[in-house]
Structure 1
Amino acid sequence: MMRHIAVLDIGKTNAKLALVELPSLREIAVRTRPNLVLKAPPYPQYDLDGHWRFFCDGLRQLHRDHGIDGVAVTTHGAALTLIGDDGAALPMLDYEATGPDSLSAAYDAMRPDFSQTGSPRLAAGLNLGAQLHWQFAMDPGLRQRVRHIVTYPQYWGFRLTGALACDITSLGCHTDLWLPEAGAFSGLVDALGIRDLLAPARRPNEVLGGISAQAAQETGLPEGLPVCVGIHDSNASLYPHLLSREGAFSVVSTGTWVIIMAMRGTSPALDPRRDTLINVNGLGEAVPSARFMGGREFSLINQDWSGTPSAADRQTVLERPILLLPAVEAGSGPFAGRVMRWTEPAQTEGQRFVALSYYLALMTYTGLQMIGSQGPCVIEGPFAKNPDYLAMLASLWPQGIEAKASATGTSAGAALLFAQSAPVLPAPSRPLGDARLASYARLWSDQVKAGEDGAA
């Protein structure tokens, strides 16, 4: 019986190693390191070797202390790895690097339409197709040096097992390379000439392979220990609910990115200009989604303040009112291109925190509306610990808000790739709304709309 699952969990900000107990989903241990971007030639890149040493050391100790029965992997999207002749990875491009923008016109002429892929045209390297197009153009000899292309979770699976795959959730994350409805590669794969390089697409919960002899030496894990294919991190947050819920619901996965995913909602027409898109979940289903860089926005405005706002701070924000209007991170989200502004400055750090929390909740609510969400809304990750964010959402979402404030919600979802039955999820907290917050939200919406009308 699978009991202890080690999860390699790489978000945009941090890399984590978590040991999750099945079926309780209790996190026995969590280790983290920053996911720093190296400013090295030929382009900004992720520290793959540093992560590998971190994972190897942690896996060795966790196995010694607790025993590990299987390994799961979950990573951020918009990431792939090029593997060369000797099995070593070539430098892995940071998706925020702006190099691909220099070839936007040429790439736009070859990419499939949003109606086929559900993938909006995004800046920098946020479309994997744009990454590859730019990398091959920048280095004409690169294509000949590449033997395999894998999406990011499967790079770690390759290091652990030697087996190759891509997973459908990572391929379905605004790559331009995948057709969500058909469950097949798009025509861009042939336009880029990479069909013979891309590893096969597989479901996240399939077993990729067993720990190789070399990885066993480096990690201290038993040779042959199973490693699953792996999953995109926002879909890891969604996965437990796919297994355990019926009817309509939404999941909001919070971190550097806030990803809002609607299951069995009204499925309205999506607007790619507002950062709505189609994701692919762990069961292979198309999922209407919206996103904005909420964690990045929180860090930019909060400025490392770790205090607690007072009742007086909340009262002042509501009465004056102090409004933060979009967009803090103007390169993405439903109000991309808008210039952030305060209706008036906060006088205390607590006031700033409250107004910021309300802003993030209102951005989330905007996303829920755009993708036709219905039913209860589950908040996963760091924002599930923010009472002001939750109170605002609860004031606007009568179907109910559920907060799941585990240390690494994505890790629990990834561990469930090994589950043999639907999980019994821990009881969530259910925050209550407040009529005063609903009035504040109406003022915020009016101000946002006035800004749109002014821009027009």
Structure 2
Amino acid sequence: MTAAVVLDIGKTNVKLALIGADGHQRAERRRPNTVLRDGPYPHHDTEGIWQWMLATLAAFSSMATVDAIVPVTHGATAALVGDEGLVLPVLDYEHEPAAPLAHYLAVRPGYADTCSPRLPAGLNLGRQLAWQAQAFPAEFSRARHILMYPQYWAWRLSGVAAGEATSLGCHTDLWQPAGQQYSAMVDTLGWRVLMPPMRRAWDTLGPIRPELAAITGLPRGCRIVCGIHDSNASLLRHLDGAAGAEAPAVLSTGTWVVAAAPGKSLDGLREEADMLANSSALGQCVPCMRFMGGREFAELAGTSPVPCDIPVLQRLVDQGTFALPGFAGAGGPFAGRAGSIAGPSPASDAERYALATLYCVLVSDYCLDALGAGAHVVVEGSFTANPFFAPLLAALRPGRQVTVTDDASGTTCGGWMLAHWGSAPAVRSTVAAPLLLDGWQQYRRRWLAQLG
């Protein structure tokens, strides 16, 4: 059996998936995406991931003939590499750089050019890099390449450095989505020489390095694919073959919930609402809006969530218990607001789960409306496991269709597509039947009214 391996690095977990040539997953391994605090700043455990990945690839090599590896990662992350590897640890984007903002703000392009809103902490990659260049000039000067995070892993596996638009276009300040080119900031700070040649997400960069093939038992001809930003991987299969028809809006759910509305105008984007334009793997500008939904759900539901039932959801609606944003402090349409509970507090673990569900549905619906999402929304990712999320969302969008994919990781499917470019697996999905709680529409209106 031949298979591809997708390396899927989310903000919370790292996953390796072995996927057969028919698109079906054969095996999966996971580990936490640990942030280390033993260096100059909080940083990702790249060496821990690397050693775990090599061991897992060795295990996978006994299950199938692995002919391709595709890296898929979260955004807002880059690696500075020199002749010997990393010159600085890979910064965790939730870290708030201590340096004054004046230098960064002076060179940061305007929102009209980049559709990249100003974000807290290191969520703008341009701010991360500007701070690293100022705070660690000797180390920064040794960098040969600035690699987006998927391409860092592709480089470690193949030895070939590449750039790619989906990660560059993810609120970095470094990219002009409309022109599909670097922003002025790259040249102002003299970084163009550090930017490797641009490649497409599905391009093969080269074979796996021979020494890695020997360590893992993988074939020496195993292809290393350039890779892609995770939300764009989820979006990819809904773009493929959509010519002549309106592509659906896609709600990619996980630590981040990202609403993407391909084909919609950029004219309605507003920086103060934390709206942005991503670049798809096909070079399209895609209006997007997102919030840290998985993190907020966990804050509301607790670390050991207890699923609820419909009567519990109905009770919270009836008694007017509301979760008002926000609970993550990491951007989104309600950035800067402190989360609070209005009305009677949830009295049990099941009620906390119900409140978290209601909250994430309401914010998702808010984002979709702000983007002008059309008649069809597809829900991808971890929230597909919540039996009430999509039905409640469908009930707020009468006359329109909400469908749910049958896998919990559209990122993995998108990664498989890159390894088999030109072969799009059928999108297996079901239409969500609206969950018509009594007073659900009125509950939404009351929630919106409390936002001011």
For Structure 1 versus Structure 2, the TM-score category normalised by the shorter chain is: over 0.9
Provide closer, same or farther for how the CA distance between residues 247 and 312 of structure 1 changes in structure 2, counting only shifts above 3 A. Answer: closer
Write out aligned runs for 1:376-387 (5 A).
376-387=376-387
CA deviation after TM superposition for structure 1 residue 435, in Å: 3.9
- The answer as to whether partners of 2:265 and 2:287 remain within 8 angstroms in 1 is no
CA shift at 1:113, angstroms? 0.6
Letter paired with 1:429: T
Give the distance between the partners of 2:320 and 2:434, measured in 1 at CA: 18
Contact residue 2 and residue 67 of structure 2 kept, 8 A: yes
| Distance in 2 separating the partners of 1:185 and 1:218 | 38
Q: Residue by residue, what CA displacement relative to the aligned partner does 1:64-102 show, whole Å, maximum 9, x if unpaired?
A: 112211111100000000102223453111111111x63
Mark the CA change 1:432 to 1:163 in structure 2 (over 3 Å): closer, same or farther.
same
Among 47, 62, 65, the alignment partner of 2:63 is 65
State the Cα distance separating 1:333 from its structure 2 match: 1.0
- Say whether residues 1:147 and 2:148 are aligned partners: no
Q: CA deviation at 1:442?
A: 3.5
Alignment of 1:252 with 2:251, yes or no, is yes
* SS of corresponding position for 2:388: helix
Partner of 2:363: 363
* One-letter identity of the residue aligned with 1:303: G
SS at match of 1:20: strand
Q: How many residues align?
A: 448
Do the aligned partners of residues 192 and 441 (structure 1) sit closer, same or farther apart at CA in structure 2, a change above 3 Å counting? farther
Q: Are 2:88 and 2:140, in contact at CA under 8 Å, matched by a contact in 1?
A: no
Aligned partner letter, 2:125: L
The correspondence for 1:181, drawn from 169, 178, 182, is: 178
Using the size of structure 1 for normalisation, the TM-score is 0.94
Aligned residues of 2:87 and 2:142 also touching (Cα < 8 A): no
Instruction: Say if 1:385 and 1:405, in contact at 8 Å, map to a contact too.
Output: no
Secondary structure, counterpart of 2:431 in structure 1? coil
Q: What is the SS of the residue equivalent to 1:32?
A: strand
Aligned-residue offset at 1:207? 1.0
Deviations 1:397-418 (CA, angstroms, capped at 9, x unpaired): 2321111242432111111012
Residue of structure 1 equivalent to 2:37:
39
* Partner residue in 1 for 2:418: 417
CA distance in 1, matches of 2:112, 2:204: 32
- Aligned residue in 2 for 1:166: 163
Per the TM alignment, residue 30 of structure 1 is displaced from its structure 2 partner at its CA by 0.8
Could you tell me which residue of structure 1 aligns to residue 72 of structure 2?
74
Judge conservation of contact 2:384–2:405 (CA < 8 Å) in 1: yes
Matched, 1:109 2:110: no
Counterpart for residue 391 of structure 1? 391
Structure 1 residues 247 and 13, CA gap change in structure 2 (3 angstroms): same
Aligned to 1:404: 405
Find the counterpart in structure 2 of residue 135 from structure 1.
132
Which of 206, 211, 225 matches 1:209? 206
1:229 to 226, 230, 249: 226
C-alpha offsets along residues 228-274 of structure 1, whole Å, 9 cap, x if unaligned?
11000000001111114331311111111111100123544211111
Unaligned runs of 5+ in 2: none
| Whole-Å separation in 1 of the counterparts to 2:263 and 2:322 | 33
The answer as to whether partners of 1:117 and 1:177 remain within 8 angstroms in 2 is: yes
Q: 1:31 to 1:143 in 2, by over 3 A?
A: same
> Is the contact between residue 301 and residue 355 of structure 2 (CA under 8 Å) also seen in structure 1?
no
The answer to whether the Cα contact below 8 Å between 1:274 and 1:335 also exists between their aligned partners in 2 is yes
Pick from 21, 26, 29: which aligns with 1:28? 26
Q: 1:181 to 1:261 in 2, by over 3 A?
A: same
What secondary structure does 2:17 align onto? strand
Judged with a 3 Å threshold, the aligned counterparts in structure 2 of structure 1 residues 424 and 139 are, in CA distance, closer, same or farther, namely closer
AA aligned to 1:181 is: A
Give the letter for the 1:20 counterpart. I
- What is the rounded CA distance, in whole Å, between the counterparts of 1:104 and 1:368 in structure 2? 32
1:420 to 1:330, Cα distance in 2 relative to 1, 3 A: closer
Q: Which amino acid aligns with 1:404?
A: T
In 2, distance between residues paired with 1:173 and 1:418? 22
Change in CA separation of 1:234 and 1:346 when aligned onto 2, cut-off 3 Å: same
Deviations 1:257-299 (A, max 9, x none): 1111001235442111112100001101110000000011011
Which amino acid in 2 is paired with 1:248? A
**Matching residue of 2:440:** 440
Kindly provide the CA deviation profile for residues 43-74 of structure 1, in whole angstroms up to 9, marking residues without a partner as x.
Answer: 11101111011111111111111221111110
Change (3 A) 1:315 1:435: closer
Q: How far is the alpha carbon of 1:143 from its aligned partner? A: 2.8
Cα separation, 2, equivalents of 1:76 and 1:411? 13
Decide which moves more: 71-80 or 246-255: 246-255
Give the direction of change, closer, same or farther, for the CA distance of 1:72–1:386 in structure 2 (3 Å limit). same
Identity value in percent:
38
The answer to which of 139-148 and 189-198 deviates more is 139-148
Give TM-score scaled by structure 2 length. 0.95
Contact 1:207 1:229 in 2 (8 A): yes
3-state DSSP of counterpart to 1:265: coil
Moved more, 415-424 or 152-161: 415-424
Q: 2:54 aligns with which of 24, 36, 56?
A: 56
Secondary structure, aligned partner of 2:290: strand
- Structure 2 distance, partners of 1:336, 1:431, is 30
Q: Aligned partners of 1:329, 1:448: CA distance in 2, in Å?
A: 19
Query: Are 1:381 and 1:405, in contact at CA under 8 Å, matched by a contact in 2?
Result: no
* Structure 1, 315-324 or 359-368: larger mean CA deviation: 315-324
Indicate the RMSD between aligned Cα atoms, in angstroms.
1.7
